[in-house]
Amino acid sequence: MTDLPVTTAPTEPIPSAADYPGLDAWRGLTAVQQPTWTDSAVYQASVAELSALPPLVFAGEVDVLRERLAAAAQGKAFLLQGGDCAETFEGATADKISARVRTILQMAVVLTYGASLPVIKMGRMAGQFAKPRSSNDETRNGVTLPAYRGDMVNGFDFTPESRAHDASRMVRAYHTSASTLNLIRAFTQGGFADLRLVHHWNKGFMANPAHSRYESLAREIDRAVKFMDACGADFDALKRVEFFASHEALVLDYERALTRIDSRTGLPYGTSGHFLWIGERTRQLDGAHVDFLSRVRNPIGVKLGPGSSADDALRLIEKLDPEREPGRLTFITRMGAKNIREKLPALVEKVTASGAQVLWVTDPMHGNTVTSPNGYKTRNFDDVIDEVRGFFEVHKSLGTFPGGLHVEMTGDDVAECLGGSDPIDQEAFLDRYESVCDPRLNHMQSLEMAFLVAGALAKKGA
């Protein structure tokens, strides 16, 4: 986390978000994938409570992130964004949060070496509590109930009470985000991010004989750390790292209630997370999500699936980044391994020709979801890696910069995605499948991906 911004005392009254009528323009537009809250009194009270609570992140930090992402858009940094598909209230424990942060830091060290560039570390954390779904309902044994939409909206338990859309859950999502962020800030500022410690953890990954193919890269990193030490590098200064929070800005009641006017600039900022993205299912050009996010100063992401045209991308730029400000807009492509080499080039070419400087990031998870023969939602590690390779190949052939990686991952030893060098098979799902939505790379698979991507970055191509 960055230090708090220094603010000067305002000489004029600070406007409130209510003074920006445009922030409510989305209410007149189509907002897909929204909850249907069951109790309007609870809804009113929850929104009022959220509107009065302190911001979770600060405008100054958001501005720092925009600068970091601008560097990535210009090929001078690489973004690593990772975390659960869906965070849960129950899963917000110290152990699970620390394992996820630790895994992201481990991946970042390997990627920093591979890219020879700063890696921007960002969690799908402290706010990733709402999910768009393909179907409104779920049927089990002949009983149909509303689909699970994330802990911010309803519960995963398959009962009518749990699946009702309860607006007070937004307040719990806020508090769970606050405690998660508190721990992340403590970890990343308090010594947990020490490069020597993170490097030591990565040696644990190498201790598994299944990972022997990464030995030469691991040895190079080891030598680099020793070289830094011998040169007298200030490792104490490397104990603190910037770490940013991000989530899909799906539930607009929540996002709007957490929008604040920055006292320095007088501009609206979403304060539920540093980076907010619009999902593949909610990116309609004239829809509520695009309108609302066009009005906040945060860096914004948009997911682009295989059905996205270059025109869609250009119109999104026009709405979300009319000033063509590097760092403002990130396109997170999630094409699927079998589509990326065919679909991505036209998008990148036309966007580049338009003069926009967006950041291109690959999400190799969401276009590669399959059902395992024994009925679990899963992804093959090889498909995930193949999409990353395709992403690098396309950017290499066009002379553009492959600026980041967006992954669903955890620090725990779960079994949700198939394969990897120490392979997970579908039988392991019976005991170790924990995700309440999409399958995540486990700790080892996440590190293996970092080694593979670092190898590709070191070669500046696939």
Ligand X SMILES: O=C[C@H](O)[C@H](O)COP(=O)(O)O
Ligand Y SMILES: C=C(OP(=O)(O)O)C(=O)O
Q: Is 225 in the site for ligand X (CB under 6 A)?
A: no
Residue 438 annotated as binding? yes
Residue 303 annotated as binding? yes
Q: Which residues pair with 143 in a beta bridge?
A: 140
Q: Which is nearer to ligand Y, 241 or 347 (CB)?
A: 347
Q: Is 384 in the site for ligand X (CB under 6 A)?
A: no
- Indicate which of ligand Y, ligand X, Mn ion, none lies near residue 102 (CB less than 5 to 8 Å, by partner kind): none
Smallest Cα–Cα separation from 460: which of 80, 103, 121, 78? 78
In angstroms, what is the minimal distance from the CB of 259 to ligand Y?
22
Q: Which stretch binds Mn ion (CB under 5 A): 117-125, 299-307, 332-340, 432-440?
A: 432-440
**Which residues ranging from 67 to 96 are in contact with ligand X (CB under 6 A)?**
85
For residues 60 and 76, give the distance between their C-alpha atoms in angstroms, rounded to a whole number: 21
The percent of the chain in helix, strand and coil, each rounded to the nearest 5, is 45, 15, 40
Q: Which stretch binds ligand Y (CB under 6 A): 175-183, 257-265, 277-285, 349-357?
A: 277-285
In angstroms, what is the minimal distance from the CB of 251 to ligand X?
13
Stated as kind and residue range, the H or E segment containing 311 is helix 310-320
Residue 417 annotated as binding? no
Rg (CA), the chain: 21
Other CB atoms closer than 10 Å to residue 195's CB: what's the count?
19
Residue 459 annotated as binding? no
Pairing label, strands 370-371, 377-378? antiparallel
Helix (H, G, I), strand (E, B) or coil at 438: coil
Q: Which is nearer to ligand Y, 88 or 202 (CB)?
A: 88
Q: Is 122 in the site for Mn ion (CB under 5 A)?
A: no
Backbone angles phi, psi at 294, to 5 degrees: -65, -15
- Indicate which of Mn ion, ligand X, ligand Y, none lies near residue 317 (CB less than 5 to 8 Å, by partner kind): none
Stated as kind and residue range, the H or E segment containing 429 is helix 429-432
In angstroms, what is the minimal distance from the CB of 274 to ligand X?
20
- Indicate which of Mn ion, ligand X, ligand Y, none lies near residue 127 (CB less than 5 to 8 Å, by partner kind): none
In angstroms, what is the minimal distance from the CB of 49 to ligand Y?
27
- What ranges in 207-251 are assigned the alpha helix state H? 215-230
Angle between helices 94-115 and 168-189 (to 10 degrees): 50
In angstroms, what is the minimal distance from the CB of 438 to ligand X?
5
Q: Which is nearer to Mn ion, 313 or 407 (CB)?
A: 407
Q: Are 379 and 368 in contact (CB under 8 A)?
A: yes
Q: Is 437 in the site for ligand X (CB under 6 A)?
A: yes
**Which residues ranging from 400 to 439 are in contact with ligand Y (CB under 6 A)?**
438
Binding mask 56-95 for Mn ion (x = CB under 5 A): -----------------------------x----------
| DSSP result, 328-385 | TEEEEE---TTTHHHHHHHHHHHHHHTT--PEEEE--STT--EE-TTS-EE-BHHHHH
Q: Which residue is nearest to ligand X (CB)?
A: 134
Smallest Cα–Cα separation from 274: which of 250, 322, 242, 321? 242
Residue 383 annotated as binding? no
Per CB under 6 A, the list member of 61, 387, 438, 448 interacting with ligand X is 438
In angstroms, what is the minimal distance from the CB of 150 to Mn ion?
10
Helix (H, G, I), strand (E, B) or coil at 272: coil
Site size for ligand Y, by CB under 6 A? 10
For residues 264 and 7, give the distance between their C-alpha atoms in angstroms, rounded to a whole number: 6
**Which residues ranging from 195 to 254 are in contact with ligand Y (CB under 6 A)?**
248
Q: Is 84 in the site for ligand Y (CB under 6 A)?
A: no
Q: Is 250 in the site for Mn ion (CB under 5 A)?
A: no
Tokens of 454: 């670092």
Contacts of 28 by beta carbon, 8 Å cutoff, 6+ apart: none
Tokens of 202: 């990565």
Tokens of 170: 């937004």
Per CB under 6 A, the list member of 65, 71, 85, 329 interacting with ligand Y is 85
- Indicate which of Mn ion, ligand X, ligand Y, none lies near residue 334 (CB less than 5 to 8 Å, by partner kind): ligand Y
Binding mask 311-340 for ligand Y (x = CB under 6 A): -----------------------x------
**Which residues ranging from 126 to 155 are in contact with ligand X (CB under 6 A)?**
131-134
Q: Are 364 and 391 in contact (CB under 8 A)?
A: yes
For residues 23 and 47, give the distance between their C-alpha atoms in angstroms, rounded to a whole number: 15
Residue 67 annotated as binding? no
Residue 262 annotated as binding? no
What is the separation of C-alpha 99 from the centre of its chain, rounded to a whole number of angstroms? 16
Enumerate binding residues for ligand X (CB under 6 A): 85, 131-134, 437-438
Which residues are annotated as part of the binding site for phosphoenolpyruvate?
124, 280-281, 303, 334
Enumerate binding residues for Mn ion (CB under 5 A): 85, 438
Enumerate binding residues for ligand Y (CB under 6 A): 85, 132, 248, 279-281, 303, 334, 366, 438
